Amino acid sequence: MKSIKIGKNSIGDDFPCFTIAEAGANHDGDRNKAIKLIDAAINGKADSIKFQSYTASKLTTKTAPKYWKDDYPNETQYDVFKKLDTLNNDDWKYIFEYANKKEIPCFSTPFDEESVEFLYSINVPAFKVASADITHLPLIKKISSKKLPIFISTGMASNQEIDEAISAIRDTGNENIILMHCMTSYPTKPADANLQMIKTLEEQYPDCIIGYSDHTAGTAIALCSKFYGANVIEKHFTYDTNLQQSPDHRLSLDTEGFSNLVSQLRLSEISKGSSIRKNFDCESDAVKYARRSIVSVGKIRKGTKISKEQVSIKRPATGIYPKFLDQVIGSTVKVDIENDQPIKWEYIESKNEN
């Protein structure tokens, strides 16, 4: 099966679900908050942490309306993003170096080609393409040319748009693609999560690893995505959901919430078991003592031909199984059998032997 390695973690069907703490811009433009996010992600048992790399003036016009609802309807996208793009390259170097020292894979979503070059220069282990940029083929080609693993969200995208994005990546010789099912709705209602799309993507793109970028509240839908085949789960993340400068704080899991999600995922993985029904060690005692066998009713003396009235079917299953009842009735007893005892094959002669 296909797998992709990020840091020390392998991603694929045969490996634990890879988790991404999507810190995005929840640093609020403050380097110290970014450091706190890294520490919180580690404490939350995340496999990785991801930020977003953009400059408001390169990302949006100054009049572009917001596509999410919040308490500030008069703000434009530019107004929001301008407040969050204040970290400079030296800040980001410090942040990524700190993550490296803490041994947690740290990468980012670049929204322009300059950010791609900068992130590549500081040795990020992967890139992310946002749902909104799945049609930005020049940016995708630039990212893909670095030959690093690419997580690409499919929110809003048609099949043709996904095909075009994948073709743009593969045209550069990059096959390290992780498709992330996503609904570009903040927050996403559970009824709109459309987790069945994970299986659809898996069928349509068997050479890609499939994951899920979740925007629903809580952990339940993200956990369910694992049962639909998600090998990666990305959740918005913050160390304090009461922070307000970034609009994503309110959508995010905190450290405890993310830790709970990871624990739930690991529990789901160990409970998966086998698709083939076989003998399980945990059931060995139940096989012996919860099932039934043929049992004597009263003492049956040696030489007696067993009648129907002399046997019953009771627990435990340490004697002859009930399905052989017709063979036991009419057979001859070779030894005395005490009352209420499981009858074993060595106690009787078969009817064919008489």
Of 176, 181, 271, 183, nearest in space to 229 by CA: 181
Over range 301-326, report the average pLDDT: 97
Over range 292-307, report the average pLDDT: 97
The confidence score (pLDDT) of residue 188 equals 96
Find all residues with CB under 8 Å of 78, minimum gap 6, and list them: 56, 57, 60, 61, 62, 63, 64
The confidence score (pLDDT) of residue 211 equals 98
Instruction: Report how far residue 252's alpha carbon sits from residue 44's, in angstroms, rounded to the nearest whole number.
Output: 13
Q: Is the pLDDT of residue 352 over 70?
A: no
Over range 129-135, report the average pLDDT: 98
| pLDDT tens profile 205-219 | 999 999 999 999 999
Of 173, 175, 136, 172, nearest in space to 153 by CA: 136
Instruction: Report how far residue 183's alpha carbon sits from residue 175's, in angstroms, rounded to the nearest whole number.
Output: 24
Cα dihedral sign, 21-26-29-31: negative
286 pLDDT tier (thresholds 50, 70, 90): very high
Of 81, 77, 97, 79, nearest in space to 31 by CA: 97
Pairing mode of beta strands 4-6, 9-11: antiparallel
Bridge partners of residue 212, in order along the sequence:
181, 233
- Could you say which of 3.40.50.720, 3.10.580.10, 3.20.20.70, 1.20.58.410 is the CATH number of the domain covering 8-270? 3.20.20.70
From the number of C-beta atoms within 10 Å of its C-beta (0-12, 13-18, 19+), residue 264 rates as middle
Find out whether 34 and 27 touch, Cβ atoms under 8 Å.
Answer: yes
Q: To the nearest 10°, the Cα dihedral for 233, 237, 242, 248?
A: -80
Instruction: Report how far residue 25's alpha carbon sits from residue 115's, in angstroms, rounded to the nearest whole number.
Output: 15
Q: Is the pLDDT of residue 294 over 90?
A: yes
Over range 323-343, report the average pLDDT: 97
Over range 150-179, report the average pLDDT: 98
DSSP, collapsed to helix, strand or coil, labels residue 161 as helix
Longest dimension (CA), the chain: 102
337 pLDDT tier (thresholds 50, 70, 90): very high
| pLDDT tens profile 222-235 | 999 999 999 999 99
What is the pTM (predicted TM-score) of this model? 0.90
Over range 259-264, report the average pLDDT: 98
Q: What is the CATH number of domain 287-353?
A: 3.90.1210.10
Domain boundaries, the chain: 8-270, 287-353
The confidence score (pLDDT) of residue 93 equals 98
Neighbours of 217 (CB within 10 A): 16
| pLDDT tens profile 236-248 | 999 999 998 999 9
Residue with tokens 């693609």: 177
1 pLDDT tier (thresholds 50, 70, 90): low
The confidence score (pLDDT) of residue 30 equals 97
Find out whether 184 and 156 touch, Cβ atoms under 8 Å.
Answer: yes
Instruction: Report how far residue 278's alpha carbon sits from residue 289's, in angstroms, rounded to the nearest whole number.
Output: 18
The confidence score (pLDDT) of residue 16 equals 97
Instruction: Report how far residue 237's alpha carbon sits from residue 88's, in angstroms, rounded to the nearest whole number.
Output: 22
What are all long-range contacts of 28-36, with beta carbons under 8 Å and residues at least 24 apart? 28/83, 28/84, 28/243, 28/245, 28/246, 29/83, 29/84, 29/85, 29/86, 29/87, 29/245, 31/87, 31/91, 31/94, 31/95, 34/87, 34/91, 34/95, 35/95, 35/98, 36/239
Q: Is the pLDDT of residue 354 over 60?
A: no
Q: Is the pLDDT of residue 66 over 90?
A: yes
Helices (H), 17-152: 31-43, 56-59, 77-82, 89-101, 113-121, 137-144
Of 23, 96, 84, 90, nearest in space to 59 by CA: 84
Radius of gyration of the chain (CA): 31
Question: To the nearest whole percent, how much of the chain has pLDDT over 70?
Answer: 99
The confidence score (pLDDT) of residue 353 equals 58
| pLDDT tens profile 25-50 | 999 999 999 999 999 999 999 999 99
